[in-house]
Chain A
């Protein structure tokens, strides 16, 4: 089964002329991100699933592109690696110019949008939802782009299952003047709910922060959980039919 599933991606040298990515294989679930006063904070777990199997529990899905830009990825992890390699080549080229004109988050987001759109046009997409964070002229920048190149900026955003479960919480609690601590509390709250409800999540997460002075990705850590909540214990009841 594994071999059959992997075949379309790996057998470029087989008899057919060219084979394309038609579906993702090793995937990451949600990425969450919010702007706060002076920066952007991002969170995701460290799991890369193989179908419904929790296959790779220690994959960094939040990565630094440069001092001032971080990226989080949902979707196919090998495609994410490829996108990061493109960005790394750009970064090296840019640093060789030694002119201090490094790419900012807006430019990285825009570049990825062009890459995603071009790959979509070849029907060979990079199967990711990428969240790009950084600052521009001291103001936080938060952009999202998906596997067909749909790109937008937002004050807060979530990909994957987080679109259903985290965005409503963010809508309720997000403020433009949030402190870093409040942003972290909000993201961890969302991650906890996702761990409770998303089957493709594990309780091992990272957060990343980017401000005008630079960026940092945390080591992986776990959240405290509370499984004795009444709604978790309640068996299927006549009122709501499920927990």
Chain B
């Protein structure tokens, strides 16, 4: 089209005859340059470094344990890319990081943190404490303050005293220690549920005794089953880690709805 237009306006080379052609409408478009984006599609293909791939992370801390649950659906727009993705990384025998958000950032962040934890172990010959990972993760996220990791982290583990510790973050490294947390696609559905059954918020009764790991696992399952009903990005299955004092870390899988 650009060639034809140029030939017509300048008289052009005689390789192609324009004889008999209907004169081109003058209002066919402003200039050739502005036609280009439409046909090649700069608008449609403008480079977007971020994507949201779903991912919901939940953690419940107890007196001497912590339970972490994270779903395994990897989505992109309305596509399910895989039903079995790993969004978690075991950093030490008593510490797990699970993350939702932009999966390319999530995998990279996990690698970076895992590498720094291994470096720490080489240097100090002990497993890093959970609160130290918490600070390091915050610093790592802030290191990318102006091109953030689009990643929603929940760091869980046992603290130096063996109590359950849950840390929750924003994308640029602010964090706090909380009794329980949920981040990611299903956050808005799950937080009120946790407030009710774990936090005993807006209730007049008091919890009967301490929360057990088994009860926490059941709460996590219920939370994900419920979220999967209403949020299309939540589904397929969840990975559940149970870290308890004096026991090896356990990892289990639990299937939830796939549609």
Contacts and interface: CB of A to CB of B under 8 A. Distances in A.
B40 A51 contact: yes
Contacts of B45: 22-24, 127
Interface in A120-158: 120-121, 123, 125, 127, 144, 147-154, 157
Nearest to B106: A150
A163 B46 contact: no
A1 B39 contact: yes
B53 interface: yes
B215 interface: no
Interface string B37-62: 00111100111111101000000000
15 contacts: A4-B32, A5-B40, A22-B42, A22-B46, A24-B45, A51-B40, A116-B104, A117-B108, A120-B49, A147-B47, A148-B48, A149-B104, A151-B103, A152-B74, A163-B79
A109 to B, nearest CB: 12
B80 to A, nearest CB: 8
A23 B46 contact: yes
Interface string B95-136: 000000011100110000000000000000000000000000
B147 A121 contact: yes
A148 B39 contact: no
A23 B41 contact: yes
B252 interface: no
Q: Which of B3, B81, B85 has the most CB of A within 10 A?
A: B81
Contacts of B103: 150-152
A127 B49 CA distance: 11
B49 A152 contact: no
B89 to A, nearest CB: 15
B82 A25 contact: no
A92 interface: no
Nearest to B147: A121
B46 A154 contact: no
B217 to A, nearest CB: 26
Nearest to B31: A4
Contact of A23 (B32, B40, B74, B102): B40
Interface of B: 1-3, 32-33, 35-36, 39-42, 45-51, 53, 74, 76, 79, 81-82, 84-85, 102-104, 107-108, 147
A213 interface: no
A113 interface: yes
B36 A149 contact: no
Given A1-B36, A1-B39, A23-B42, A151 B49 contact: no
A209 B32 CA distance: 45
B81 A152 contact: yes
A21 B48 CA distance: 12
B74 A4 contact: no
A130 to B, nearest CB: 13
Contacts of A120: 49, 104
Interface of A: 1-5, 20-25, 51-52, 113, 116-117, 120-121, 123, 125, 127, 144, 147-154, 157, 163, 167
A215 to B, nearest CB: 23
A233 B132 CA distance: 68
B112 to A, nearest CB: 11
A98 B164 CA distance: 50
Nearest to B3: A1
A147 B47 CA distance: 9
Given A23-B46, A23-B47, A117-B104, A150 B53 contact: yes
A49 to B, nearest CB: 11
A29 B50 CA distance: 22
Contacts of B76: 150
A148 B50 contact: yes
Contacts of B108: 117, 149
Contacts of B47: 20-23, 123, 125, 147
Given A1-B35, A4-B36, A51-B41, A154 B82 contact: yes
A1 B74 CA distance: 39
B36 to A, nearest CB: 5
Given A4-B2, A21-B47, 5 more contacts: A4-B33, A5-B36, A23-B40, A23-B45, A51-B41
A8 to B, nearest CB: 9
A232 B74 CA distance: 35
Contacts of A152: 74, 81-82, 85, 103
Contacts of A121: 49, 147
Nearest to B44: A23
Contacts of A144: 81
